[in-house]
């Protein structure tokens, strides 16, 4: 728990984060009363599941103390509470398993994780094929059905020589909105937990890095976005190979211990940069050498200095 002196800074940081959330909630028609009800249910659920005292029953009084809700509200919520809807198991989907195994290294990919073109099937068991890859996953689905689904979703393509080519190196659904919403429920939470871990455990930090520049011209964004995608895909290939080497489902000789879930990811973000007018306020003269009269607005910047409108893109 943070020291009392940092509580205000913590709540201020959460407020800044929630501003973006609230903007999208309003845009999607989620009202304040609906959000309030959701938060009440979440506070109760988290307090019951993660803040229970050992060997003691969770009473309404205990939950009221932890959450700040009154006992009457808690009793009513516990009576009418419906089971939480299970999130779409996107990461456990067949497509994600196929992509992960394909990029995990030999025999289906190079050592750096670059996926190879695979024949659909081979009579020789030593040859890496798409059918062999699917059978490696031990799924009770015909190989042809798996291929048809991956073709339909645009994950793979059939080449003219009959080989199967992996087109997408990450399972990011392009048309399934429900699956994208499942990512919204997992990815921000994972990043938030990572940042909080690094705040609370500075002696054992987790990986948390980003690069920020705030004066890029809009005409460069297409090239930057393309280069960022290539860089991110190379990182994901390498990360997949590293984690797959230690995954006990794929490597029986991997290290033992308690079962642990590990995530390595990347994202891209852009927005209009705020124009800093500090220099205008401090500079007593314009470019022509004339002094700016007191109370007059700052001189207009040239087109090159204005921040152009941008687009928000995120890649995973």
3-class secondary structure for 55-94?
A: CCCCCHHHHHHHHCCCHHHHHHHHHHCCCCCCCCCHHHCH
Model pTM? 0.64
Evaluated on CA atoms 91, 97, 99, 104, the torsion sign reads: positive
Q: What would the two tokens of residue 283 be?
A: 């500079």
Helix (H, G, I), strand (E, B) or coil at 164: strand
C-alpha 126 chain-centroid distance = 37
How far apart CA 169 and CA 108 sit, in angstroms, is: 13
pLDDT of 287 reads 44
CB atoms within 10 A of CB 246: 12
Question: Residue-wise pLDDT tens for the chain (316 aa)?
Answer: 788 888 889 999 999 999 999 999 998 889 999 999 999 999 999 999 999 888 888 899 999 999 999 999 999 998 887 655 444 443 446 777 888 888 888 899 888 778 899 999 988 878 899 999 998 887 778 899 889 888 887 889 999 898 999 987 765 555 567 777 888 888 999 999 999 999 999 999 999 999 999 999 999 999 999 999 999 988 988 898 889 889 988 788 889 999 999 999 999 999 998 765 554 445 444 444 444 444 445 554 444 444 444 443 344 4
Domain segments of the chain: what residues?
Answer: 4-80, 90-166, 176-208, 211-316
Return the CATH class of domain 90-166. mainly alpha
pLDDT of 314 reads 40
pLDDT of 175 reads 58
Q: Spell out the alpha helix ranges (H) of 201-306.
A: 221-246, 278-282
From the list 271, 240, 228, the residue with the least C-alpha distance to 99 is 240
pLDDT of 286 reads 42
pLDDT of 81 reads 73
């Amino acid at each position: 728990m943070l020291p009392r002196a940092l509580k205000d800074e913590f709540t201020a940081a959460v407020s800044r984060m929630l501003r973006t959330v609230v903007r999208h909630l309003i845009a999607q028609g989620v009202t304040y009363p609906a959000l309030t009800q959701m938060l009440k249910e979440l506070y109760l659920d988290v307090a019951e599941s993660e803040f229970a005292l050992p060997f003691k029953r969770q009473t309404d009084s205990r939950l009221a103390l932890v959450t700040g809700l009154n006992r009457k509200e808690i009793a009513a919520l516990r009576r009418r509470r419906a089971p939480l809807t299970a999130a779409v198991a996107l990461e456990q989907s067949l497509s994600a398993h196929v992509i992960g195994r394909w990029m995990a290294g030999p025999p289906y990919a190079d050592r750096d994780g670059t996926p190879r073109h695979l024949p659909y099937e081979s009579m020789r068991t030593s040859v890496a094929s798409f059918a062999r890859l699917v059978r490696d996953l031990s799924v009770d689905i015909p190989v042809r059905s798996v291929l048809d689904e991956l073709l339909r979703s645009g994950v793979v393509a059939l080449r003219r020589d009959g080989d199967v080519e992996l087109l997408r190196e990450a399972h990011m659904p392009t048309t399934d909105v429900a699956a994208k919403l499942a990512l919204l429920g997992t990815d921000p939470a994972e990043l938030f937990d990572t940042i909080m871990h690094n705040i609370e455990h500075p002696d054992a930090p987790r990986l948390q890095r980003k690069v920020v520049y705030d004066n890029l011209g809009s005409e460069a964004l297409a090239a930057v976005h393309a280069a960022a995608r290539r860089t991110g895909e190379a990182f994901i290939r390498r990360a997949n190979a590293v984690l797959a080497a230690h995954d006990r489902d794929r490597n029986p000789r991997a290290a033992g211990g308690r079962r642990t879930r590990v995530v390595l990811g990347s994202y891209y973000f852009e927005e209009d940069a705020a124009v800093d007018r500090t220099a205008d306020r401090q500079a007593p003269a314009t470019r022509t050498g004339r002094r700016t009269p007191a109370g007059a607005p700052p001189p207009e910047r040239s087109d090159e200095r204005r921040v152009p409108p941008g687009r928000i893109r995120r890649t995973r």
